[in-house]
Chains A and B, each alone.
Chain A
Amino acid sequence: MAGDEGTPQTPARRVTRSSSATPLKPSLVTPNLLPPPTHPPPQESLSTEPMSADDLLALLPGRKSQILEFLRVIGPPNSPMLPALLYGGPSTGKTITILHVFRLLRRRFVYASCRSCYSPRILFETVLNQLLFHRRSRENGYSSAKRCERASDFVNLLRDALTRAITGPRDEKKKSCSKEGHGDGIGEMIYLVFDNVELIRSWDKGSEVLPLLFRMADVLKTPAVGLIYISRAMPDAYYSMTGSVEPISIYFPDYTVDDLHYIFMRNQVNQKLYSSFLSIVLKPFSRVTKRVDELATAFDPLFMKYCEPLTDLSLVPDEAMKRKLFDHLQPHLTASLNEIFTVTPWSLVEVAKERTSKRGHIRKLCGKELFSELDIHMSTSAKYLLISAFLASRNPATLDAALFDSTGGSNNRKRKRKSTHTSLDQQDDMAEEILMKGPGTFPLERLLAIFQCITSVMDCSVEEDQFEDGVLTEGSNVWLMSDALLQLSTLCNANFICKSGNFQLEGSTRYRSMIDEDMALKVVWRGVSTFHCRSTYIEDRFPICYHGFGSLICNNWTNGSQLLKLEK
């Protein structure tokens, strides 16, 4: 399978020149559907036009010292090298540097990213496939060249493949492309590049694979192999596992602001416009993150916004224009700084919907109400359950008896009202503490108890209303209690409530509500208030519970019922 000698034209040339040189199978090159090679791919172009070190340095701004050091480590062609570990934060140009360097030097390498190769077997087979020039296709059932699951097999197979790869292609090359004239140098060394090595640590068999990789040089004992590891983690993370030759480490620091500026300015059509844009955004954003990828995702939509007022994008902005554009961008800037992920509506219809809903929101803001529509459909019992979960999560369990017990009604409340300042302060402290701690967990029984308390009161009020209101019939009160457990699983699925602990027959599961106050208020406002609830009940119970929130719920609740009465 390795090295298809039958195609001496283009594929064979690729073998000699391009770095990881896997010859194309004829069946894959011929089909018309594939884009015809009208102009050579970048790899080819780079290798045909001789690329100087200066070009390389220009291509990778801010990485000069790292490139030079790496070049020093791998040394001249045909010279053995010590293993190298390139490390640094994410998105600092480690992988791209390696790839560009190898392309410049036209040396042969094998690349395996431990992200794509997420298990030892895939990692081993990927490496072997590349060494043996094996290509998966339908003809071979998309299988790999050698089946290799165990580390010991891998070492043997790798040794075989390496000897074949080092000796084999050289003869071939001498046959086919001796005209290029540098046949003897290239192909001697094969470099194995392992990317994202830090991920191996989280694998099941990571503790076996990692030492193997780092001890590879000792195990193989072939001077013609160069090992290069790329990692986000510090070299310290691997010391305990090696016990062999310590790799030479090269650190890739974060980019400086100037580097970032240079990186973003590349390939821009309108340099002036973009540089004026960068002068606004780069400073504040680089304080938050210096990762190029994060910045790029943040800048793209912002630049679109920035250009919105412009009709002609090739325009060179003057001072007045810059100011105008800045004013236009200003409101979006802070929002974008706080937001990591935005979902933009795609179609015009959606955009229009968004606008109307926003308008509605603003109108409500003027009228002091802040609750936009609840944009999710839930059954009424699910809503009650969600509120119960919220209350259970935010209130200490000790308060439950006082809040929901049938005896702790209005008397209780009067006593509370008369309470002294100190006790009020204590209450405040407690509420604050609960707020700081975040939502607590609660057992299923407690949730159901609260749920039952809330819904039983709803039932009473519904019954009262039934005499006047023909719409609600005797069936309605039953529904709220009917299948709380089913609804609970729905809510868990939708991530409104999360389940912790393992579920057993004994039922030691605890739950936690995941919704924030806004959401809870929306549920109360949009969902529950449509059922007429007795305001006295709410006044009795909610002002005490969870303080601020309780009173908010209560206010809105009563407002809601009053509004409903007014509507009638």
Chain B
Amino acid sequence: MSPSPISMPPSSLVADDTTGDSVLQPFFVLHKALPQKCERKAAGSTRTRRKIDLPPSSPKSPEKSDAVASSVGPNDTNYERLRLEAFNMTWSKIDTTIKEILTRVHRSLFAEVHQWALESFLALKSGEPRNAFEIQSPYPLLDDVICKQIPTAMILTKNAEFVDDMLTFQELGEHLKSKGCHIANLSAMDFCAKDGIAGCLRSLLRQLVMDAPDLADMSVLSSWYCEPENYDHPVIIVIDDMERCCGAILADFIRLLSEWVMKLPVIFIMGVATTDTAKKLLPSDALQHLQSSKFTLGSPLERMNALVEAVLVKPSFGFNIGHNVAVFMRNYFLGHDGTITSFVRALKLACVKHFSMEPLSFLGIDILDENQVILYLLLYSWFSYMASVMHYLTLCLNMLLIFHLLKEALIRGKDCTNSRDDLEEGLSDLRKLLKAWSSVILCLYEVGKHNKIQLLDIFCEATDPTLSSLDPSNHKLERSFNGQNLAEGRELPLSSLIKLLDLWSIHTEELCEVHGEVRELQSVVKSSNNGNNLKERQIDCHRMSMSLCAGRTSLSVNGKAAALLDYMVRKFLMPIECLCFHEIICFRNVDILQSALIGNPRRNIQIDLMKSTTYMKCSCCCSTENVLSPTMHDTSVMYNLAQEHGDLISLQDWYHSFKSTVLSTNKLKCPLQHSPMSKKVKSSPSESEASIQARFCRAVIELQIAGLIRMPSKKRPDFVQRVAFGL
């Protein structure tokens, strides 16, 4: 990234958000380089020599944006501040929405788990009522329970990656705590083989007992439970990632707790990816102490649908993403990471980049508010008048600049589709179109649900500017998901059609033109449905013909619905990027996002080593670009030299070439200043063999620490191996 003043504040923003998250995070640093296509193909044949082909330069887009920025001159800190504020506002809105959405997705599950916990608690204490004396006695109770089982909720996360679910389990814990249960959150860290069973017991006690002694003894817990305020509430132990625990320790823990479960109502809640992991992880004598019930979290795709609907489809934030970015993020989610967390992070990065790069982005928040726009327009006319009067008022100039930008955007918008000259109309059109667009997408999604089409796919489809539905001759539309949806709509059975129309009428409430038609269609369908019911009561001989008739009507109704959808799609499904003023709210620069999201550290380390001169900017070696000079950093010299070798580098050769590089340029440079005699005298004490060797060793170790080479093996003691994954 070019260190422009614009990009500074967002970077600090990114940094501060990471502290809020949990300790375990998906980190983006370890991603591998993007291999060039040609390079990868060539890799099969010429494997021995791998050279890095350096990228031509940093991505073009920042430069372009810089150019735009500099032409308008938003270097002014006022703009920066405005945009920063706008970003803070927008992101905090989006963030709270996302959190709400995710908790809403899990609300029913939480209630269910609580119900289950209560029932199992009642079952546990159903026997004889215990008194404090019994609970604290060290020996097992003499009752007739043969095998003491701990109630266990196995919560299927349905996700190989557990990052998304950590927050869910925390929330579940808080939910149960608010209902009066004792909660202890244990993680796989507590069940590591090093600490043994003491580790998990200690962290259990620490979370439950306020002034716990350092000795993690179960009798402490039992005495704690006998305190009047703790008594008679279940003790729920939440383990969010059971797969990652050490099996032996977890088994010990279960066996130990099973000795106490009759006295202490212990209940487990475990997050597992699949049900049979418990079988793989635990021995049978621990398993038999678990009385497990199964619960299922919403799948990541479900959560993703809810999230996309709330954040991207509903136009309430003044921020959206373009087609390229949407496709990028979809691929990122499906192909690469698969976590909501990283999707949200990508979204945030897009948001940061948008607000830092788009000069007008601070208007985004207000653009959906009609009054605000009018205010802006009034101000515009006033300021333009004032500016003509008082030329030196910088404030006025600034404001004028804003509206100049607006105008410019308007003029740019002229190129894409039908635009108005008038600023006000353009903005209100954008507003209206966005609303219509989102309701049509939701309608499409309702149809797509029957075919398990994800909202994100529809969103990607709908934002594609090449699919502009306004062009009637566009055949691409037919091939797309939307086309599929249309076909789907024709085949729906009557009952689901009724449901579908109900949902449509909710979605299109603000879209008056379509809403009427949906209502009409609804009444038609309902009447035909009633008719069907009536007809079914009629006598047998009529049934055949009647059912045929009914089939025909429903078919025609389906056809009508499909036609309506088609009409909606053609009329309103205009991709955001085809609207004028879309720059204000729409982020389209996929390259920036990509480079920000996938910081290729491995590749970058190598590139930096190769081109250390660009960073050092010293006078001695910048003149000759590809020639190694002794003034360069040793590690850099070494790495450049290593490029001449294959996978295996002979230490001998490497050392000699290093030595000659270090010394050779001395020969080049020194004669200019000194006589050969003095050079010899000078170089021999400074560059002794030992010091060169020491420098060599140090550089090798640095390369090893950077993960670029591997130390000599026993088989080949004088060869180091290059570690190059795909590069």
Measured between alpha carbons, how far is A25 from B288 in the docked complex, in Å?
A: 36
Contact yes or no, B241 A115, CB < 8 A: no
- The answer for the CA separation of A343 and B229 in the assembled complex, in Å, is 34
CB within 8 Å of B: which A492-520 residues:
493-496, 505-507, 514
List, in ascending order, chain B residues with CB within 8 A of A20's CB: 137-139
Provide the bound-state CA to CA distance between A376 and B280, in Å: 17
Segment at the B interface, from A28-36, A213-221, A324-332, A410-418: A28-36
Q: Which residues of B contact A263 (CB under 8 A)?
A: 146
A381 CB-CB contact with B under 8 Å:
yes
The answer to whether A153 has its CB under 8 Å from any CB of chain B is no
- Say if the beta carbon of B401 comes within 8 Å of chain A: no
Interface residue A481 (Cβ < 8 Å from any Cβ of B): yes
Please determine whether A267 and B144 come into contact, CB atoms closer than 8 angstroms: yes
Q: Which of B159, B281, B331 contacts A495 (CB 8 A)?
A: B281
Check B256 for interface membership: any CB of A closer than 8 A: yes
Return 25 A-B CB contacts under 8 Å, by A number: A22-B137, A31-B228, A35-B129, A90-B285, A113-B139, A116-B259, A118-B197, A135-B136, A142-B209, A142-B223, A343-B154, A343-B292, A345-B293, A350-B296, A375-B156, A376-B159, A377-B158, A473-B324, A478-B34, A478-B35, A482-B34, A484-B725, A490-B160, A494-B243, A495-B244
* Chain A residues in 8 Å Cβ range of B30: 483, 485-486
Q: Which of B26, B275, B598 contacts A343 (CB 8 A)?
A: B275
In the complex, A141 Cα to B143 Cα: how many Å?
A: 31
Residues of B within 8 A of A193 (CB): 139
**Identity of the chain A residue whose Cβ is nearest the Cβ of B30 in the assembled complex:** A486
Q: A471 an interface residue at 8 Å Cβ cutoff?
A: yes
The stretch from B173-181, B212-220, B424-432, B635-643 touching chain A is B212-220
Given the known inter-chain contacts A341-B279, A483-B336, A495-B280, please indicate yes or no for A122 contacting B217, CB distance below 8 A: yes
- Which residues 445-483 in A have Cβ within 8 Å of B in the complex? 448, 452, 456, 459, 470-471, 473, 475-483
Q: Smallest distance from the beta carbon of B111 to chain A beta carbons, Å?
A: 10
Name the interface residues of B293-338: CB closer than 8 Å to any CB of A: 293-296, 299-301, 324, 327-328, 331-338
Q: Are A481 and B726 in contact (CB under 8 A)?
A: yes
Residues of the A chain whose Cβ atoms lie less than 8 Å from the Cβ of B228: 31-34
A534 contacts the other chain (Cβ, under 8 Å)? Answer: no
| Interface presence of A370 (CB below 8 A) | no
Q: Determine whether the beta carbon of B209 is less than 8 Å from that of A99.
A: no
Q: Are B704 and A505 closer than 8 Å at their CB atoms?
A: yes
A24-B209 in contact (CB<8A)? no
**Shortest 8 CB-CB distances between A and B: which pairs?**
A379-B338, A479-B335, A346-B293, A293-B147, A31-B228, A111-B139, A35-B129, A136-B223
B649 to chain A: closest CB distance in Å? 16
A482 cross-chain contacts in B, Cβ below 8 A: 31-32, 34, 336, 598
Q: Note all chain B residues with C-beta closer than 8 A to A382.
A: 160-161, 338
Interface flag for B290 (CB, 8 Å): yes
Cα of A475 to Cα of B333 in the assembled complex, Å:
12
Cβ contact within 8 Å between A346 and B116: yes
- Residues facing B in A17-60 (CB within 8 A) are 20, 22, 24, 28-29, 31-35, 37-38, 41-43
13 more CB-based (< 8 A) A-B contacts, given A43-B142, A116-B138, A141-B213 = A28-B132, A41-B130, A116-B259, A137-B227, A142-B211, A142-B223, A143-B213, A349-B112, A379-B337, A381-B336, A475-B331, A482-B32, A485-B30
Is B260 on the interface with A (CB-CB < 8 A)?
yes
User: Among B26, B285, B294, B464, which residue has the most Cβ atoms of chain A within 10 A?
Assistant: B294
B604 close to chain A: CB less than 8 A:
no
A292, B146: Cβ atoms closer than 8 Å: yes
**CB <8 Å contact, A14 and B133:** yes
Contacting B274 at CB < 8 Å: which of A116, A341, A375, A448?
A: A375
Separation in Å of the B595 CB from the closest CB of chain A?
Answer: 12
Residues of chain A contacted by B255 (CB below 8 angstroms): 115
B530 adjacent to chain A (CB < 8 Å): no
Assess whether B331 is in contact with A494, with CB atoms less than 8 Å apart: no
Asked whether A340 is an interface residue with its Cβ less than 8 Å from the other chain, the reply is yes
The answer, yes or no, to whether A423 is at the interface (CB within 8 Å) is: no
| B399 at the A interface (CB under 8 A) | no
Q: Which residues of B sit under 8 angstroms from A506, Cβ to Cβ? A: 710-711
- Of all chain A residues, the one with the shortest Cβ separation from B282 is A341
Min Cβ gap A33→B in Å is 4
In the assembled complex, which residues on chain A have CB atoms less than 8 Å from the CB atom of B40? 456
Interface residues of B in 108-167 (CB under 8 A from A): 112, 116, 128-134, 136-144, 146-147, 149, 153-154, 156, 158-162
B81 within 8 A of A: no
A491 to B177, CA, bound (A): 32
The yes or no answer to A119 lying at the interface (CB within 8 A) is yes
Q: Is B573 an interface residue (CB 8 A)?
A: no
Tell which of B217, B229, B725 touches A125, judged by Cβ atoms closer than 8 Å: B217
In whole angstroms, how far apart are the Cα atoms of A130 and B138 in the complex? 9
Q: Which residues of B contact A249 (CB under 8 A)?
A: none
A476 CB contacts on chain B under 8 angstroms = 331, 335
| A353 pairs with B198, CB closer than 8 A | no
CB contact under 8 A between A113 and B244, given known A350-B294, A483-B31: no
Distance between Cα atoms of A27 and B723 in the complex (Å)? 68
**Contact call B144/A266, Cβ cutoff below 8 A:** yes
Q: Which of B146, B273, B299, B300 has the most CB of A within 10 A?
A: B146
With beta carbons under 8 angstroms apart, the residue of A144, A344, A481 that contacts B35 is: A481
Q: Which of B37, B45, B133 contacts A41 (CB 8 A)?
A: B133
Partner of A377, one of B137, B256, B299, B327: B299
The answer to whether residues A136 and B220 also contact, given A33-B231, A343-B292, A514-B280 and a CB cut-off of 8 A, is yes
Q: How far is the CA of A125 from the CA of B55 in the complex (A)?
A: 68
CB-based contact B128/A41 at 8 Å? yes
Chain A: which residue is nearest B243 at the CB level? A495
- Name the distance in Å between A179's Cβ and chain B's nearest Cβ: 22
Q: Within the assembled complex, what's the spacing in Å between the Cα atoms of A495 and B198?
A: 24
Q: Is B406 an interface residue (CB 8 A)?
A: no
Contact between chains at B160 and A376 (CB < 8 Å): yes
- Decide if A138 touches B227 in the complex (CB within 8 Å): yes
Give the residues in chain B near A42, CB-CB below 8 Å: 128, 141-143
Interface status of B224 (Cβ within 8 A of chain A): yes
A103 to B35, CA, bound (A): 76
Interface residues of A in 112-144 (CB under 8 A from B): 112-113, 115-119, 121-122, 125-126, 129-130, 135-138, 141-144
B residues less than 8 Å from A32 (CB atoms) = 228
- The answer to whether B327 touches A296, judged by C-beta atoms less than 8 angstroms apart, is no
Q: Is A96 an interface residue (CB 8 A)?
A: yes
Say yes or no: A479-B480 contact (C-beta < 8 A), given A35-B131, A506-B710: no
Q: Output the nearest chain B residue to A147 by Cβ-Cβ distance.
A: B215
| A378 and B338 contact, CB distance less than 8 A | yes
Q: Decide: A493 and B331 in contact? CB cutoff 8 A.
A: no
- Counting CB contacts under 8 A, is A294 at the interface? yes
Q: Check A100 for interface membership: any CB of B closer than 8 A.
A: yes
A481 to B40, CA, bound (A): 11
| B3 CB-CB contact with A under 8 Å | no
Roughly how many angstroms separate A267 CA and B41 CA in the complex, as a whole number?
A: 74
- Given A116-B259, A448-B725, also A41-B134 (CB < 8 A): yes
Q: What residues on A are CB-neighbors of B116 within 8 Å?
A: 346-347
Query: Is B277 interfacial (CB-CB < 8 Å)?
Result: yes
Chain B: CB-nearest residue to A111: B139
Q: Which residue of the partner chain A has the closest CB to B244? A: A493
The answer to whether residues A452 and B726 also contact, given A378-B338, A480-B335 and a CB cut-off of 8 A, is yes
Query: In whole angstroms, what is the CA distance A367 to B704 when docked?
Result: 56
Are A141 and B142 within 8 A (Cβ)? no
Q: Which of A543-559 contact B (CB under 8 A)?
A: none
A380 within 8 A of B: yes
Which residues on B sit within 8 Å (CB–CB) of A340? 279, 284, 287-288
Nearest CB in chain A: distance from B236 CB, A = 15
Asked if residues B138 and A111 are in contact (CB atoms below 8 Å), the reply is yes
Shortest CB-to-CB span from B666 to chain A, Å, is 34
Q: Does chain B have a CB within 8 A of A406?
A: yes
Q: How far is it, in angstroms, between the C-alpha of A375 and the C-alpha of B139 when the chains are bound?
A: 43
The answer to the question of A231 belonging to the interface, with a C-beta cut-off of 8 Å to chain B, is no
> B243, B274, B461: which contacts A493 (Cβ < 8 A)?
B243
